[in-house]
Amino acid sequence: MAATAELERTDSAAPRDATAAAVRLESVSKAFGGRRVLEDVSFAVAEGSGFVILGRSGTGKSVTLRHIIGLVRPDAGRVFVEEDEISALSGPDLSRVRRKVGFLFQSAALFDSISVGENVAFPMRRHTDLKEADIIASAQAKLASVGLEREFDKMPGDLSGGMRKRAGLARALALDPRILLVDEPSAGLDPITADEIDDLLLGLKRRGGVTLVVVTHNMPSARKLGDRLLMLHEGRILAEGTPAEMDGSDNEIVRAFMASQHSG
């Protein structure tokens, strides 16, 4: 049975020094209402790299991502963001670590009661001492960087799916995070728009040195963004390695997944 496939790890590009990892999960397990979602999941993401978590729907990819920003706490195991064990933090300490991490939600999750510009300005208003004029200028610059300079005053409901995603990306980047978590960047988008989002993310990694942790089941997107890929299957790690290593995997499910060209 595929679900019981042996854990396969290739370590050629794995960070040698655990302290240099931007994100690290150690034996994380999680269950919801008796249903086990993650089982003994461990991995490390090197600083400035692109790390893609693959897997079919319902295999625990998004839950893994939520552990990294402390939206979900593990039943067992530990989660580190840089040197901080985020899974053990709460209150102001948790907030401090969260400020280092941006999160682009699958649905973009823009606050729909305020304008697009205010969405981007929101984290700056909350966590910086910038003057109002500087906040507005910075929010405009962030929107311009994702090609939405003219949408500042629009409401989120007036944007298309791709524009919402880009606005969500601008908000996730508002505090210039060192780590960016991205949940299904291509979901619900046409291939061209999805490709544009991928290019934006790639630019952040290459030019900004941002560490990307991306959840997707879209292989073209995974190949583009991922220096290393990790495949989850029924809450367990099935394989981890570079795209080339994953292509040559002995596991039938991994090979089938890597060969797929599904997008969106």
- Choose which of 127, 223, 224, 255 interacts with other proteins (CB under 8 A): 127
Min CB(168)–other proteins separation in Å:
8
Min CB(175)–other proteins separation in Å:
8
Could you give the angle at the alpha carbon of 83 between the alpha carbons of 200 and 66, nearest 5°?
Answer: 55
Dist CA 142 CA 171 (whole Å): 8
- Choose which of 109, 136, 187, 253 interacts with other proteins (CB under 8 A): 109
Asked whether position 155 contacts other proteins by CB under 8 A, the answer is no
Min CB(155)–other proteins separation in Å:
14
Min CB(128)–other proteins separation in Å:
12
- Choose which of 41, 44, 86, 101 interacts with other proteins (CB under 8 A): 101
Asked whether position 93 contacts other proteins by CB under 8 A, the answer is no
39: DSSP letter: E
Asked whether position 64 contacts other proteins by CB under 8 A, the answer is no
Task: Name the burial class of residue 223, with classes exposed (0-12), middle (13-18) and buried (19+) by CB atoms within 10 angstroms of its CB.
Answer: middle
- Choose which of 95, 144, 158, 206 interacts with other proteins (CB under 8 A): 95
Residue type, 139: A
Residue 194 · residue 142 · CB < 8 Å: no
Residues 24-63 close enough to bind other proteins by CB under 8 A:
none
In 3-state terms, what secondary structure has residue 143?
A: helix
Min CB(63)–other proteins separation in Å:
12
In this structure, the dihedral spanned by the alpha carbons of residues 169, 175, 180 and 182, taken in order and rounded to 10 degrees, is -30
Dist CA 242 CA 221 (whole Å): 14
User: Residue 53: which of 187, 231, 172 has the closest Cα?
Assistant: 231
Residue 13 or 94: the one with the smaller Cβ distance to other proteins is 94
Please choose, out of 22-30, 97-105, 191-199, 251-259, the segment that lies near other proteins by the rule CB under 8 A: 97-105
Dist CA 253 CA 93 (whole Å): 40
Residue 5 or 65: the one with the smaller Cβ distance to other proteins is 65
Helix, strand, coil content of the chain in percent (nearest 5): 40, 25, 35
Asked whether position 185 contacts other proteins by CB under 8 A, the answer is no
Contact pattern from residue 207 through residue 246 relative to other proteins, giving x for each residue in contact according to CB under 8 A and a dash for the rest = ----------------------------------------
Asked whether position 126 contacts other proteins by CB under 8 A, the answer is yes
Dist CA 201 CA 85 (whole Å): 26
| Residues found near other proteins in the complex (CB under 8 A) | 66, 69-71, 94-96, 98-99, 101, 103, 105-107, 109-113, 122-123, 126-127, 171
